[in-house]
Structure 1
Amino acid sequence: MKQVYFTAGPAEMYPTFEKHLQDAVAQQLGSISHRSQKFRDIYRFTVEQLRTLMNIHESHAILFTGSASEIWERVVLNCVEHESFHLVNGSFSKKFFEYAVSLKKYAHKQEKLFGEGFDYAEVEVPEYAEVICVTHNETSSGVQMREPDIHKLKRSNSKKIIAVDMVSSAPYPDLDFSVVDTAFFSVQKAFGLPAGLGVWIVNERCLAKAEKLQKHEDLTIGGHNTLPMLWKNFKNFETPATPNVIGIYLLGKIAEDLNNIGVDTVRKQTEEKYKLLNKFVETSQNFTPSVVEERHRSRTVIVANTKLPSGEVIAEIKKSNMIVGSGYGPYKDTQIRIANFPAVSLEQVETLIQVLKKIDD
């Protein structure tokens, strides 16, 4: 019997994925040239669908990489001359910071305990930091930074670039791209696709910074997928090197499916499922929310502490053909993570809660 994946990525495939994949194979998209008109049409279509879905302004390019992790490096190399600033409250926001350190930048961080979130008023941005790196949704800890807080942070630091990691939440967050300079995600989470494609949304301010750094004798902005090269190719809906053509095609088709539903409906459905899961965890005997403050709890990755060993909980749930994730890193045995992505229906969430209730008895 088919299993339902409530894992945080790779995650449950979007219901229309198989049909779109069959169409891609039938069209032999794995064999076409990335310099062909057919590919340009695919790239253009995907960009149009993402602009509609996520309200991305024409001022921002939409670029493709091999992964979202790659984009951490691209942001640091192309947008930071000396100093970056990172809000760290989980394993992935910490890795973004560590990438900057490894690239020999003077990286500042404001760090909170695992499971704690940031509000705008408590953030202290260093005077000389060029880029503020924030994580909208920390996949490891289940913490979100609310969109209004991100927008206020940028508006009060208007001369700095703000970069938003929305890897495990896009397209749920309603980011204002007249404020946000750059954001990025990967497709194997809330878009319900196989891994292997990163999406980098970036504005002309970031491009200007990269072009300035490129002229610097003592700096490098990298040798592969530099922002100026990606942008130059984007103008013609092309890529510098052979990309994941099928992945780009599938992303465009899934984005179209979500547009047909409507992003407001997608968000309402996400919130409805979150409320059910959150209510269960809050009232459970064997589970408690890992994120204490409700306003900081992720709507797309629910993390719960478990009194029982997480391995036992996961094994029991699996008997009902459902897969949930373990806690991340040191929390592997004491937490479970439940992805609340568009690919999972309200009915499937309700079924999962019934299984969890049986474990709770």
Structure 2
Amino acid sequence: MKQTSFYPGPSTIHPSIPSLVKDAYDTGILSVNHRSSDFMELSFAAKSQLRSQLNVPDEYDVIFISSATEAWEILPQSLTSKTSQHFFNGAFGLKWAYTTENLGVEVIKSPFDANESLPTDQINSLADWLCVTACETSNGTMVDQNVLQELFSRRLPHQLIAVDATSALGGVILNFQLADYWFASCQKCLGLPAGLGLLIVSPAAIERGLLLGERSHYNSFLKLVENARKEQTHYTPNVLNIYLLWRTLASGPSIEVTDRRLRDRMARLNSIIQSNGALDWLVSDAYLRSPTVITLKISDPMELKERALTQKMILGNGYGEWKENTVRIANFPAMGDIQFQIFMEWISNL
């Protein structure tokens, strides 16, 4: 029996990946130059599917990058004149803030508790960018789109919003109009092998890039945009993952269907957890929980993980300050409903 990985990224990949890899090899696309017409057609097809399946606005540019971590660097080096404000309640939001700070940008840190909503009333007028982590993978929290709407409404005219959507993009409905700089890696909700990132930017973000005019890095934002608008890339890209992105999106359901499916699985799991004395939610308020990364408190995480392994299930470690008392479970779309049902039945019998 094959092991099932519930690790929250890299995680279980889309079940069609093996046959699609062979298809990619057979077509010859893996050997084409990334300035060629064949690659440009693939780039256009993949971006078109992304727009269609995830409701990305036509006026937003889609750019292929190496990872979400690269997007952490592009924002301060190319799009920030002086200051950014980072709202965070976990390890990855904090790492983003530190990365920005290390690149010479003044960072206003606005931490909040995992069991509290993002404080939209704490916007600092000095910030050029307001930075938000949509789903904090370290603790299983999510900033609801209504909260993002409130942040959008409260921001000052000169302020733009950046969203790390790494554990959200492809799993939940996102209103892209509420932010200017969205980014994610593809090894989580999009169900691909690691090695591809997506950057989705508004016309306002591009205007900011033109205003600052930064071009001193290989991945300077303006170079990315110019290449993307030609359906090319600023560096030799992960052609295989772009091909897999196109094919899996083309055969997959709409984001509305996926969102409902993940939330339904989350609701069924919640019923089990409420009747199980051995486990509890790290995030007590259901409104603040991510539908894609489940984080559960338990006295002995290692013992639970070892028991799961006997059932051919790999659970994720706790992370950061919650490493010693939690496990994390991916509720990503590539995980089949039957696999998730087996996991829930096992949990219910603990």
**In the alignment, which of 117, 127, 130 is matched to residue 128 of structure 2?**
130
> Helix, strand or coil for the counterpart of 1:140?
coil
1:262: Cα distance to partner?
Answer: 2.3
Name the structure 2 match of 1:168: 167
CA contact (8 A) 1:77 1:222 kept: no
What is the distance in 2 between the residues matched to 1:355 and 1:109?
41
CA–CA distance in structure 2, aligned partners of residues 229 and 38 of structure 1? 21
Pairwise CA distance, 1:203? 1.6
Q: 1:236 aligns with which of 230, 238, 261?
A: 230
Can you list the C-alpha shifts for 1:159-188, whole angstroms capped at 9, x where unaligned? 211011110111233222233211111000
Amino acid aligned to 1:337: R
The Cα shift of 1:158 comes to 5.0
TM superposition shift of 1:222: 4.6
In the superposition, relative to structure 1, how do residues 329 and 221 fare at CA in structure 2: closer, same or farther (>3 Å)?
A: farther
Q: Is residue 181 of structure 1 aligned with residue 186 of structure 2? A: no
Q: Which residue of 1 aligns with 2:146?
A: 148
Q: Deviations over 1:43-99 (max 9, x none)?
A: 000100010111111211100111101101111222211110011100000011111
Matched with 1:344 is 335
**Distance in 1 (alpha carbons) for counterparts of 2:315 and 2:132:** 26
Q: Which runs of 5+ in 1 are unaligned?
A: 215-219
SS at match of 2:233: coil
Superposed, which structure 2 residues align to 1:64-75 within 5 Å? 64-75=64-75
Distance in 1 of aligned mates of 2:102 and 2:177 = 31
Deviation larger for 97-106 or 202-211 = 202-211
Shift of residue 333, structure 1, vs aligned partner: 2.9
What is the Cα deviation at residue 221 of structure 1?
Answer: 5.7
Q: 1:33 to 1:47 in 2, by over 3 A?
A: same
Cα drift, residue 157 of structure 1 = 1.1
Q: Does residue 270 of the first structure (1) align with residue 262 of the second (2)?
A: yes
Q: Which residue of 1 aligns with 2:35?
A: 35
Are residues 347 and 158 of structure 1, via their aligned partners in 2, closer, same or farther at CA, if it must alter by over 3 Å?
farther
Within 2, Cα distance between the matches of 1:45 and 1:151?
30
1:297 aligned residue (266, 289, 293): 289
Q: How does 1:195-214 map to 2 (within 5 A)?
A: 195-214=194-213
Number of residue pairs matched?
349
Contact 1:117–1:144 (CA under 8 A) maintained in structure 2: no
What's the counterpart of residue 217 of structure 1?
none
TM-score between both structures, scaled by the size of structure 1 = 0.93
| Contact 1:141/1:303 (8 A) holds in 2 | yes
Provide the C-alpha distance between the structure 2 equivalents of 1:241 and 1:316, rounded to a whole number of angstroms: 44
DSSP-derived class of the 2:178 partner: coil
2:318 maps to what in 1?
Answer: 327
Would the aligned equivalents of 1:281 and 1:287 in 2 still touch at CA under 8 Å? yes
Q: Which residue is equivalent to 2:298? A: 306
d(CA) in 2 for partners of 1:123, 1:79 = 24
Give the conservation status (yes or no) of the 8 Å contact 2:112–2:118.
no
Shift of 1:338: 0.7
Q: CA deviation at 1:276?
A: 1.6
Secondary structure of 1:84 counterpart:
strand
Query: Runs in 1 of length 4+ with deviation above 3 angstroms?
Result: none
Partner of 1:178: helix, strand, or coil?
Answer: helix
C-alpha distance in 1 between matches for 2:156 and 2:23:
45
> In 2, Cα distance between the equivalents of 1:71 and 1:25?
29
1:139 aligns with 2:137: yes
Whether 1:317 and 2:308 are equivalent positions in the alignment is: yes
Checking the alignment, whether the CA contact within 8 Å between 2:162 and 2:179 is kept in structure 1 is yes
Secondary structure in structure 2 of the residue aligned to 1:199:
strand
Q: 1:295 to 1:222 in 2, by over 3 A?
A: farther
What residue in structure 1 maps to residue 280 of structure 2? 288
Q: Quick one: structure 1 residues 221 and 132, their matched pair in 2 at CA, closer, same or farther if it must change by over 3 Å?
A: farther
Structure 1: distance between partners of 2:165 and 2:35 = 30
Do the aligned residues in 1 keep the contact of 2:54 with 2:254 (CA within 8 Å)?
no
Q: CA deviation at 1:119?
A: 4.1
Q: In 2, Cα distance between the equivalents of 1:76 and 1:340?
A: 31
Does the CA-based 8 Å contact 1:117-1:143 persist in structure 2? no
Q: Which letter maps to 1:262? A: S
Deviation track 1:261-291 (CA, whole Å, cap 9, x = no partner) reads 2222111111111112222223311111001
Tell me, in whole angstroms, the C-alpha distance in 1 between the residues paired with 2:86 and 2:153. 17
Instruction: Please say if 1:245 is aligned against 2:239.
Output: yes
Q: 1:228-255: CA deviations, max 9, x gaps?
A: 1111111110112211111111111111
What secondary structure, in the 3-state scheme, does the structure 1 residue paired with 2:85 have? Answer: strand
Superposed counterparts of 1:46-85, under 5 Å:
46-85=46-85
Distance in structure 1 (CA, Å) of the matches to 2:116 and 2:134: 10
Conserved 8 A contact 1:10-1:194: yes
